[in-house]
């Protein structure tokens, strides 16, 4: 599993980002965050069998670290008699506040019965080097409050239930450290790379930096595959690039993901000597490719790539066509529109998950010992060249499931829409517009903006107000924008 958790922070209130300091992010928020992540991971696996290896991005670098890396087994033993809910609730202490975010998440895992994980962190601010051994807490970032804002904020973390043979950290320009973890999977070696490249997928200047990020990774892959052309390697993470980056942004002369790294969509081509990385996005139909949404378009910033060794009859093998987007309606996806339910600090303990859906893929071990013999592929288009559509895939809100909407008029009078419980939910609203140039309504004594992100939506709302004696009838998603409560009307067919 690969999962950008959208800024999981610890509970000490010492953070680079303003939104994660104590005024806005409390232990109750940290509790909601880790419990939601744990619930999603459990759902992404099968009952009793959560993912064995998880590549996390955007876990906070601990800016109040101890003198030594955390001893995770000892931590779990210390808090064995309690729960993460009590630790971040009535039993909260300075000692718990001092725990890094990944330790809180690990405890939330254990409380759900997901046990046996070791933790490897790729924190910035440390000297790069090797660390060998199970549960290595490599690289929790240091730093004083004086230089806090000048330092990095987040890191990559790996949770694994397999023994760890070695860890390497590679500094990246303007990005999180590349984290390499070598695992022993039932006696067979598997190398995983956890990445989080420079942001700004469509920008030519930042693409130069992503090219440098890709170069660091590509050089290390080449070293491993020179030593063993059939090495079993999984590359995952948030590359801040789309699988079809080169076609989608033709103004970019060189792309990090396609030109430098060599991500490509011909599943048979990796059997040859030059195109040795296959991007698992190509397992899905083009209409199903999407892990995140920006400006009304689906993106594929999250990735899982595999090498040729994961298709042979030796060691670890990819289970063909097992790649999937972990999107669950009513959990981490909106029940009506299936868009990511983002993290929000609204309410006493916050709500939501992440602006990215996780990706999953299944693997198995084979004992044939035939690295030159490849697994038969079942997908008809496996050998077909697939570069992806050059155009972006638009979010289609015309297919919104309005049966999942809450009828605002039918809610009991005692319901508080602003307690965090209702944030992000789709409502059917019928209300009298207030007399001003903006679109506003009054609901239960509170003022709410009614906002459409596109002019055509706003035009329909204004026309409705004008033609129906000031009445507005629409579907809207409840939320806030810069502290102002609003109903967000995402599509013209949300205006009735």
What integer is the mean pLDDT of 477-490?
A: 88
Q: Lowest-pLDDT range, 9-18, 87-96, 117-126, 164-173? A: 117-126
Last residue of some domain: 353, 374, 394? 394
Query: Is the pLDDT score of 84 beyond 60?
Result: yes
Same structural domain, 452 and 355: no
Position of tokens 């109040």? 64
Contact 388, 481 (CB under 8 A): no
Q: Lowest-pLDDT range, 81-90, 137-146, 186-195? A: 137-146
Same structural domain, 363 and 432: no
- CATH number, domain containing residue 401: 2.40.50
Q: What is the pLDDT of residue 134?
A: 33
pLDDT tens sequence across 267-299 = 999 998 889 999 999 999 999 999 999 988 999
Contact 358, 5 (CB under 8 A): no
Same structural domain, 204 and 309: yes
Task: State which H helix or E strand residue 191 sits in.
Answer: strand 188-196
Same structural domain, 144 and 215: yes
Domain that holds residue 414: 397-494
Query: Is the pLDDT score of 131 beyond 60?
Result: no
- CATH number, domain containing residue 174: 3.60.10.10
Q: What is the pLDDT of residue 425?
A: 87
Q: What is the pLDDT of residue 377?
A: 87
Q: Lowest-pLDDT range, 126-130, 312-316, 327-331? A: 126-130
pLDDT tens sequence across 181-199 = 999 999 999 999 999 999 9
Same structural domain, 291 and 359: yes
Q: Which residue has the higher pLDDT, 24 or 135?
A: 24
What Cα–Cα distance (Å) separates residue 122 from each residue in 69, 148, 176? 12, 18, 8
pLDDT tens sequence across 44-68 = 988 889 999 999 999 999 988 888 8
Same structural domain, 298 and 365: yes
Q: What is the pLDDT of residue 149?
A: 55
Q: What is the pLDDT of residue 148?
A: 54
Burial class (CB within 10 angstroms; exposed 0-12, middle 13-18, buried 19+) of 335: middle
Same structural domain, 332 and 423: no
**Within its chain, how far is the Cα of 293 from the centroid?**
12
Same structural domain, 211 and 120: yes
pLDDT tens sequence across 19-47 = 999 999 999 999 999 999 999 999 998 88
pLDDT tens sequence across 203-239 = 999 999 999 999 999 999 999 999 999 999 999 999 9
Same structural domain, 386 and 478: no
Q: What average pLDDT does the chain have?
A: 91
Same structural domain, 420 and 360: no
What integer is the mean pLDDT of 397-402?
A: 84
Contact 299, 293 (CB under 8 A): yes
Last residue of some domain: 342, 360, 394? 394
Query: Is the pLDDT score of 386 beyond 60?
Result: yes
Query: Is the pLDDT score of 155 beyond 50?
Result: yes
Question: H helices within 228-260, ranges in order?
Answer: 245-248
Query: Is the pLDDT score of 144 beyond 60?
Result: no
pLDDT tens sequence across 345-381 = 888 899 899 999 999 999 999 988 888 789 888 876 6
Domain count of the fold of the chain: 2
Same structural domain, 184 and 229: yes
Same structural domain, 333 and 402: no
Last residue of some domain: 374, 394, 414? 394
What integer is the mean pLDDT of 469-490?
A: 91
């Amino acid at each position: 599993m690969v999962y950008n958790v959208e800024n999981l922070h610890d509970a000490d209130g010492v953070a680079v980002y303003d939104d994660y300091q104590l005024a806005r992010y409390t232990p109750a928020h940290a509790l909601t965050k880790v419990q939601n992540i744990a619930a999603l991971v459990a759902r992404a696996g099968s009952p009793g069998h959560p993912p064995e290896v998880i590549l996390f991005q955007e876990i906070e670098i601990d800016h109040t670290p101890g003198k030594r890396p955390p001893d995770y087994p000892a931590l779990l033993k210390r808090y064995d008699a309690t729960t993460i809910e009590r630790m971040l609730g009535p039993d909260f202490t300075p000692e718990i506040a001092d725990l890094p975010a990944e330790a809180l998440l690990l405890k939330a895992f254990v409380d759900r019965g997901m046990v046996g994980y070791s933790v490897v962190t790729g924190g910035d601010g440390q000297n790069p080097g090797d660390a060998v051994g199970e549960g290595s807490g490599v690289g929790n970032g240091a730093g004083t409050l004086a230089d806090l804002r000048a330092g990095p904020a987040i890191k990559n973390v790996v949770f694994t239930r397999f023994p760890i043979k070695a860890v390497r950290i590679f500094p990246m320009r303007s990005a999180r450290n590349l984290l390499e973890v070598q695992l022993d999977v039932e006696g067979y070696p598997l190398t995983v790379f956890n990445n989080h490249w420079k942001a700004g997928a469509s920008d030519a200047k930042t693409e130069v930096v992503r090219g440098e990020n890709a170069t660091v990774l590509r050089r290390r892959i080449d070293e491993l595959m020179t030593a063993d052309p059939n090495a079993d390697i999984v590359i995952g993470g948030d590359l801040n690039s789309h699988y079809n980056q080169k076609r989608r942004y033709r103004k970019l002369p060189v792309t990090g993901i396609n030109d430098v790294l060599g991500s490509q969509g011909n599943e048979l081509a990796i059997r040859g000597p030059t195109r040795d990385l296959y991007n698992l996005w190509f397992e899905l139909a083009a209409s199903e490719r999407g892990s995140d949404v920006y400006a009304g378009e689906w993106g594929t910033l999250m990735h899982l790539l595999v090498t040729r060794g994961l298709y042979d009859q030796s060691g670890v093998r990819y289970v063909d066509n097992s790649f999937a987007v972990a999107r669950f309606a009513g959990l981490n996806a909106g029940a009506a529109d299936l868009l990511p339910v983002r993290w929000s600090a609204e309410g006493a303990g916050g709500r939501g998950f992440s602006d990215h859906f996780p990706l999953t893929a299944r693997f198995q071990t084979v004992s044939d010992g035939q690295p030159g013999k490849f697994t038969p592929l079942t997908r008809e288009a496996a050998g077909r060249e697939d570069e992806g559509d050059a155009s972006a895939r638009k979010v289609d809100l015309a297919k919104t499931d309005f049966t999942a909407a809450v009828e605002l008029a039918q809610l009991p009078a005692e319901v508080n829409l602003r307690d965090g419980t209702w944030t992000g939910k789709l409502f059917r609203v019928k209300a009298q517009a207030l007399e001003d140039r903006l679109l506003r309504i009054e609901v239960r004594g509170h003022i709410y903006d009614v906002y459409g992100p596109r002019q055509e939506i706003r035009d329909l709302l204004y026309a409705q107000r004008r033609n129906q004696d000031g009445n507005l009838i629409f579907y809207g998603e409840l939320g806030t924008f810069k502290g102002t409560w609003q109903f967000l009307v995402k599509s013209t067919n949300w205006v009735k």
